[in-house]
Chain A
Amino acid sequence: MYLIGNITLYLGIVIAAYTIIANVIGIRKQNNKWIESARGGVLSLLFVSLIASFLLLYLLGTSQFQFEYVAAYTSHNLPMVYKLTAFWAGNAGSLLLWTVLLSVYTAMLVFSKEKQNSMMPYVSSILSLNILFFFVVMILGGNPFAMTETIPADGKGLNPMLQHPGMILHPVTLYLGYVGLAVPFAFAIGALILRRMDAEWIKLTRRWTITAWLFLTLGNMIGGWWAYLELGWGGYWAWDPVENASFLPWLTVSAFLHSVMIQERKGMLKTWNISLVILSYLLTLFGTFLVRSGVLTSVHAFGSGPLGTYFLIFMAFMMLFSIYIVISRYQLIKKESIPIESYFSKESSFLLNNLILVAGAFAVFWGTMYPLISESLKGTKINVGAPYFNSVMAPILLLLLLLMAVCPLIAWQKATVDRFLKNAIWPFAVGVLAAIILVVVGVKGTFAIIGLASTVFMFATHVQEFLQGTRARMKATKENIAKAIYKLTRKNQRRYGGYIVHIGIALIAIGVISSHAYPEDILKTVERGENIAIGDYVLTFNGLTEQTENGNGIVTADLKVDYNGKNVGSINPEKIFYETWPEPSTEVAIKTNWKEDLYVVLSSWENSEKITLQVKVNPFVSWIWIGGGIMVFGTAIALIGGRTNSTGLLKAFRAGR
C-alpha cells in the first residue's frame, strides 16, 4: 500500500513534467503527435491521481492506522461517512483532493470537443504545471501516505465540531471553486501567448468561471451556516483571515462575471478582464498560502509548516509569469480596445460595479494583511478585526445594493435618462415606502434603515423586470402567467438567471443587515423555575438532565418557551461529552420562525438546579440561508443557458478562419 501510494505521487511528478514538455515541443514543432502524446499524459495524470485518491479512501475506510494521516484524523468508532470525508480533513488529503480535481478538470478540457483548439496545448501545459506543483508539494510537505513509526491501537479521531454535514461539504465546495479558477486563468494566458485578443477564451470558459463562482458562493455559505449552527457564538461570519481568503476571490470573480459581458458584447475592457482573471487565480493561491503559513493570528489552527512557503513561491512565480505575458502583449490589447460610447449606459454602470467590487476586495485584503504591514512599518502587529471590516464594507456593500437596484434599468450603449426614470420610479417608490414603514413601526438605526430600504428597492427592480417581461410575453403569445414566466426565463437564461441571483442577494442582505443591527443577547445564570426574558420570548428553566447515547454523555437543559405570552413548546440546548474528546462540545438549540431565530447555548452548570445560558435573538438569519439557496438556483439557470449564443458564434468564427 505504502509503495503504491508513493509510486503514484512520484509518477505524478514525472508524467506532469512530461505533459508540459510534450506540449511545448508540440507547439514549437507544430507537431500534432506530440500534442496527442501530451493528451495521453493528461489521461495518465488523471489515472495516477485517481488511484492515489481511491487508495487513500480505502485506507481511511478500513482504518489502517499505520498511516499517519489515517491515525491523525479518524478513529475506529467514527461513522463511515466521516472516516471517508476525513480525506480532506487535513493538509495532505486536501492537497491530494486539489490535485485530483485539477486532473479531472484538465482531462475534461483536453478531451472536450474543443480539443483541436489551438489554445488547448497552452491550457494543458499551464494546468499540468499546477498539477506538477501539487504533486511536488505532496512529496515535500504533505504526503498522505506517510507511515507512523509505531502503529497506534486507535486513531486520534475527528474533532466533534467537525462531525457535521456542513464540514463535509464546506472544504470540497471551496476547493472546487479554487480549482475551477485555474481553468479561465489557463485560457486567458493561452490566448495572450497566442496573441488572440478576441473573446473566444471568455466564451469557452464562461461555464467554468460560473461553476467556480457557484462553488465559491456555496463554500462560503456552508461555512457560515456551519459556524452558526455549531460554534455557538451566534454569528456566521467573523472576518477571520481564513474567511477573508475565500471571500477575496469571490469578490474579484463576481466583478469578472459582470465585466466579461461587456467584452463579449462590445469588445471592451480586455486588459481589465485578463487582469481580473489572473488576480482571482492568484488570490486562490494566496488564500492557501495564508491558511497554511500561519503568518497571521487566527482562531483557525494553522500548522506553521513549510507548506505556506511553497505556495508563496509558486504564487510569486505565476504572478511574474502572468505580468510578463500581459506586459509583452499590452500594445496589442490596447490597439484592439474599443472606447465607451456614452457616460450613461450599461457599460459604464458595469464599470462602476467592477470598481466597487474590486475596491471591496482591496479593503478586505488591506485589513487582512494589516497586521503584517503594520509590523513591518511600526514594529507592532495591529489586528484591525471585525469593526474595521464592518465599517468599511458596509458602505461598499450598500453602494453595490444601489447599483444592483438601478443597473438592470439602464440600457446598453446609450441609455436615456427619461426612460430610466420612468422605469425606476416604481421600484424606488417601493423602497421609500419600505423606509417609511420601518420608521413608523419604530425601527431604529439610520444606516440599517437605509440599507434595508435599498435592498427593497433592489428587490422591486428585479420583480418589475420579471413582471414587464412576462406581461409583454403574455400580450404577444397569449400564454398564461406561469408559462410566460417560464418561457421568458428559458429564452434568456443568462439574464434572468442573473436576476434570480440578485434576488437571492437581496434576501441575504436583509438577513445580514438586520442580524447585525438588531441582535439581542443575554448571558444569565438561572435556577430551576427562573425566567429569562428576551425580545418577545420568555424562557423558563425546568431542569437539567443527563443521559448516555452511543457512548457519548449528553447534558440537556430543558426550557419552556413562551412567545408573546403563548407557550410555543420547549427548547433544549446541550453539551455533549464525546468519548474520544476531553472537553464537551456545545450543541446550540435554535427555534426559527419566519423573522427570527431564538438561539440558546448552554454555557455551563453548577448542578442540575443552576445553569448559565447564553440566549440570543437573531433577526432574519434564516433568510441568509434561503437567499443562498436562491443564488445557487439562479446560477444554475444562468449556467444551463447561453449555449446557443456562444457556440453559434464560435462556429462562424472558425469557419471564417
Chain B
Amino acid sequence: MDALIEKLKGQIIEQLNLAEVKPEEINPDSPLFGEGLGLDSIDALELIVLLEKHYGIKIQDPKDGKTIFQSLRTMAEYIKSQGKS
C-alpha cells in the first residue's frame, strides 16, 4: 500500500502541475480538496483521467469521485480494490 501511495504522489504532482509541492509534504490522510492540497473541480476531472491512463480504471459515475478522491489513502485503497495496483 505504501509503495502505491508513494507512486500516486508523484503521478498527482505531475498530472496536476503541483510544481511547488514536494512528495513528502503530502500527508496520505489529509483531504485532497478544499484545504489540504487545495485541488479544484478541474483537478477532480484530471484525477479521473489519471486513474484511466495509469491504472486502466474507468469511473463511470463522476459522483463516485467524491469518496474515491477523499485522500491519497482512499485513492490507493480504491485502486487495490479494483485489483489494478
Pairing of A with B = no
What is the interface of chain A, defined by CB distance below 8 A to chain B? none
